[in-house]
Amino acid sequence: QAAAAAEPVPGAPKASPSLHLAALSPPAPGASTPPAGAGAGARKLTGEEHASGQYDLGEIPAALRAYVASLDDGPAEAKTPLEAMLGALRKLPEAEQARLGVPGLSLDRPADRERVAALWRERQREILEIAERMTNTASLLAGYIEELAGARPEDEGRVLDALFELEDHLADIDMTRDFHTLGGFPVLWRLAAAPAPAAAAAA
C-alpha cells in the first residue's frame, strides 16, 4: 500500500511550480496536523529540491497533496492597511457604523477605498478630540476642587462664584461622575458644614 501511495497520479505534471515546502516540515505549535499516513511512501527531498522549491508533484502522496492544497486555499492572515482599517470600523457598534456610513463599503471600489481612508482619519480625529476634552474637563473640575478646598473666610465672594459655576457644570451627568472620581463631593460637604452664606450655596 505504501508503494501504491507513492505512485504518480495519472495526468499529474512531472514538473510543478513551487509549493509551500514548510507544510512538509513538522507543524508549528497550534498549526493543523497532516492526516495520518500522509507521508507514507514518499521519498525524501534532496537538499537541492528543498532549496529550489521544485520537485515532482507525482511523488507526493494524494493525502498529503490534499493537505497542502487546503493550506494554500486558507485565508491569508496578512492584511493591507486599508483592510485593517475597514475591519476596525466594522467592529464599531451598529449605530456608529451607520453614522459613519460603514455598511456597504467595499475595497474593490476605488471610491470606497478613499472613503475608508477618510473615515479612518475622521475617527482618529474624533478620538483625539474626546481625549483632549476629557483632559480639559478633568483639569477644570480639579481647579474648582482645589480652589474650594483651600478657601479661607475672606474668600467668600470667590467661593460663591465658583460654586454657582460648578452648579452649571454638574448638571451634566458625566461631569458629575468625574467630579466624584476626583474627590470633589467631600469638599462640598465640608463647605456645607461651614458658616453661611457659603454653606447655603454649597448645599
* Per-residue pLDDT at 111: 92
At residue 17, the 3 state secondary structure works out as coil
Predicted confidence (pLDDT) at residue 30 exceeds the cutoff of 70: no
Angle CA 42–43–46, to nearest 5: 140
Predicted confidence (pLDDT) at residue 151 exceeds the cutoff of 70: yes
Whole-model pTM: value is 0.40
The C-alpha cell at 141 is 473640575
Sign of CA dihedral 156, 161, 162, 164: positive
Whole-angstrom Cα distance, residue 155 to residue 138? 23
Residue boundaries of the structural domains of the chain: 2-73, 110-202
Q: What's the pLDDT band for 9 if we cut at 50, 70, 90?
A: very low
In angstroms, what CA-CA distances link 122 with 41, 101, 118, 134, 177? 59, 12, 6, 18, 28
* Per-residue pLDDT at 164: 87
Predicted confidence (pLDDT) at residue 47 exceeds the cutoff of 70: no
| Percent of the chain whose pLDDT exceeds 70 | 57
In angstroms, what CA-CA distances link 22 with 13, 26, 52, 173? 21, 8, 13, 58
* Per-residue pLDDT at 49: 52
Predicted confidence (pLDDT) at residue 115 exceeds the cutoff of 90: yes
